[in-house]
Structure 1
Amino acid sequence: MDFLFSQPGTEMKKEPTKIRLLSVSRNLFLKQGYSETGLNQIVEEAKTVKASLYQHFSSKEELGKEVLKLYSDENLNLLKTLMKRNPKPLDFIKAWVRILSREARMSQLYGCGMANFRAQIHPGETHIRSEIERIANETINCLSDFLKESIQNGYTKPNVDCQSLAKQLFIVYEGVLQSYRLLDDKKSLDELYKIAETLIPSLK
């Protein structure tokens, strides 16, 4: 989105420079990769100048870290919305797969942003690596909390190690996305639900 509307009747205003830079960077990092995206391209597509970029981000690494946080917030908000609408674990997984499949059909699924970043960052970019680890653990904890709640609501058997199961589901999710990219096969995404069925001990 290039413009924001504040209130009806007011003039259309351009998004703040920082938001434009984050939005453009997020899209470019997902589409063509972190290492393949230069600051000059980001500045050009954000319709600003490099001096303005450095007013908000001291380096590409700091920009990458902020983009990861944005990506993480979007993903966690999506997961929490799906969990609220689908309190049964397998229903949630099915809804999750539908979202991924829709993005794939629209050619908007580029794999996992975290994994893509991790594969391309320089060993010295420790701040990004730490941010990726934090996001991964936060996602696993979100899944674990959801599974605990499903036990309380009687949707999952009580003898489940929620943290371990959440980590397994996260690993399956990452593997499915990588398979989708490697095989260029949208049906690979369905494996997330099929494998989840064997992992989640739902009450009949």
Structure 2
Amino acid sequence: MKTESKVRRRILETTGQLFYRQGYQSTGINQIIAESGVAKASFYSHFPTKEDLCATYLKLESDAWFTILKRITLDEKNIDNKLDALFNHLIEFHAEHRFRGCAFLNIRAEVGSSSPKIAQEILTHKTRLLNFFHSLIPNEKKAKHIYVLYEAALMECQVFSANWPAEEAREFALEIIKLDH
């Protein structure tokens, strides 16, 4: 059973790298099998379809993302510091990871609504992110505004290959928090 777990993990690690670097449509099952070094039968015993593989990858990616977000905001005492930490994380992520934007939105752009299973994983992640901002910011309208800023910064850093969108979004998010209503 431990071998299956290692095989599954290897497949998912390879998948994550390839989907993020190349995209969903440009990554084939045979490439994943070859680069993960697993037997074809082992691959299909874990993931009967590419759609199943992608949905599992997205769920694990979402869990990892929220582990990081919770960790970087946990010790911050006020909302300004929490928001600063979240936007700084975007800047660091952009600098460290051959940044291609949001993995979820990239796959959504490729797949559209052709896969309800994948679309649901993406919606689940984005809903979790919105709820995360709601947990930090009691004012629902402000939480939604800052969520949109965060999402926009994530994509625009990719478009411009620069950090300024996250820096500007952080500044505006901090201004929103200061508003009375």
User: In structure 1, what is the Cα distance between the partners aligned to 2:78 and 2:14?
Assistant: 36
Q: Which amino acid aligns with 2:132?
A: C
Q: 2:101 aligns with which of 111, 118, 124?
A: 111
User: In structure 1, what is the Cα distance between the partners aligned to 2:77 and 2:36?
Assistant: 40
User: In structure 1, what is the Cα distance between the partners aligned to 2:89 and 2:78?
Assistant: 17
CA RMSD of aligned residues (A): 2.2
Q: 1:81 aligns with which of 36, 61, 71?
A: 71
- Mean Cα displacement is larger for which, 80-89 or 68-77? 80-89
From the two aligned structures, give the one with the greater helix fraction.
2
Contact 2:87 2:170 in 1 (8 A): yes
Identity score, percent: 27
Give the 3-state SS of the residue equivalent to 1:44 in structure 2: helix
Give the 3-state SS of the residue equivalent to 2:178 in structure 1: coil
Which has the greater radius of gyration?
1
- Matched residue, 1:179: 156
Find out whether 1:92 has 2:63 as its counterpart.
no
- Matched residue, 2:171: 194
- Mean Cα displacement is larger for which, 73-82 or 59-68? 73-82
Which 5+ residue runs of structure 2 have no aligned equivalent?
none
Contact 1:93 1:192 in 2 (8 A): no
User: In structure 2, what is the Cα distance between the partners aligned to 1:66 and 1:107?
Assistant: 21
Find out whether 1:17 has 2:17 as its counterpart.
no
User: In structure 2, what is the Cα distance between the partners aligned to 1:197 and 1:16?
Assistant: 43
Contact 1:140 1:166 in 2 (8 A): yes
TM-score when normalising by structure 1: 0.80
User: In structure 2, what is the Cα distance between the partners aligned to 1:94 and 1:194?
Assistant: 9
- Mean Cα displacement is larger for which, 60-69 or 191-200? 191-200
Q: CA 1:103 to 1:138, structure 2 compared with 1: closer, same or farther past 3 Å? A: closer
Deviation, structure 1 residue 109: 2.5
Q: Which amino acid aligns with 1:38?
A: G
Give the 3-state SS of the residue equivalent to 1:111 in structure 2: coil
User: In structure 2, what is the Cα distance between the partners aligned to 1:115 and 1:129?
Assistant: 10
User: In structure 2, what is the Cα distance between the partners aligned to 1:107 and 1:96?
Assistant: 16
Residue by residue, what CA displacement relative to the aligned partner does 1:78-137 show, whole Å, maximum 9, x if unpaired? 111122121312211211222222222224432111111110115321111011111111
Contact 2:87 2:167 in 1 (8 A): yes
Contact 1:97 1:193 in 2 (8 A): yes
User: In structure 1, what is the Cα distance between the partners aligned to 2:148 and 2:82?
Assistant: 17
User: In structure 1, what is the Cα distance between the partners aligned to 2:75 and 2:99?
Assistant: 23
**How many equivalent pairs are there?**
179
Deviation, structure 1 residue 141: 0.8
Deviation, structure 1 residue 166: 2.2
TM-score when normalising by structure 2: 0.89
Which 5+ residue runs of structure 1 have no aligned equivalent?
1-12, 149-160
Contact 2:90 2:154 in 1 (8 A): no
User: In structure 2, what is the Cα distance between the partners aligned to 1:98 and 1:125?
Assistant: 33
Deviation, structure 1 residue 14: 10
